[in-house]
Amino acid sequence: MPPAKKRARTYDAVKIRAAVTAQFGHVSDAVRELDEEQLARPSGVGEWSVAELAAHIAWIAHSLAAGLARPPAAVPELTAVEWPFATASLAGKIAEAARETLGGAPLTELYERAGARMAEELAANPGGRVMDLWIGDMTLADFLVTRTVELVVHTDDLNRAVGADVPIDRQALAACTRLLADALALKAPGGSVEVRIPPFAVVQCIEGPRHTRGTPPNVVETDPLTWIRLATGRTDWAAAVENAQVRASGERADLSALLPVMS
């Protein structure tokens, strides 16, 4: 008998909407407090300065609202868990669109405008609406889950670049962690390695003998932020293991060849 097909993870649509709104608000509040010296620092994301990173985060909300303002698509082409694998090819296009859309306006103005427009469009659209997107048409509900990834990852980038302590909404952190863990399981299906990211996610991956009971022979365990940094190429696997940020046991428990999950 073939193995049962894994059920796709579901997310609470109300909580995800609230998480996206809350996380954007946290970043907006923090950006208002940044001084010119902090804004001029390198962000650690490509060649962007902190100011350019902050503008990109504003564009995340702006582009969500703009997508909802367009006529809907007919059928979704992409699910949330497939999204991480479709982003790399559009990085340049997204960066160029962000520059053109934002047009060098002051950051405070960008955040106020983007936040207001996002709130208005979210209030007017149900989760089942299919959005017409460059990356592939997606339901609003699925696309919002991907927005938690963008917002959490870039909030962490911002915190590390300027030594800030911008809060990360717990629901946004949970959704981001789970989506990237599920993407790993999709990238390397199997049941020989168990990846634990308490308190939010446990997934099995990599072909080989499947664990059925007791303590798995191959286990990887880490915390949510370390996992997110590994999955997005912010942290190197070997360094994370050496610094005891990752605990890996078993001959198959080396994920270095599978990371990052998205870049």
Q: Residue 8: what pLDDT?
A: 82
Q: Residue 217: what pLDDT?
A: 86
Tokens of 213: 């009971």
Q: Report whether 102 contacts 51 (CB < 8 A).
A: no
214-262 pLDDT, tens digit each:
667 899 999 999 999 999 999 999 999 999 999 999 999 999 999 999 9
177-221 pLDDT, tens digit each:
999 999 999 999 999 999 999 999 999 999 987 656 666 789 999
Tokens 């090819």 correspond to: 89
Largest CA distance in the chain: 63
Whether residue 5 is predicted with pLDDT greater than 60 in this model: the reply is no
CATH 3.40.50.150 fits 188-258, yes or no: no
Place 1 in a pLDDT band, splitting at 50, 70 and 90.
very low
Q: Report whether 156 contacts 234 (CB < 8 A).
A: yes
Task: Locate the domains of the chain by residue range.
Answer: 13-172, 188-258
Measure the CA–CA gap between 42 and 161, rounded to whole angstroms. 7
CATH of 13-172, one of 3.40.50.880, 1.10.260.40, 1.20.120.450, 1.20.1440.230: 1.20.120.450
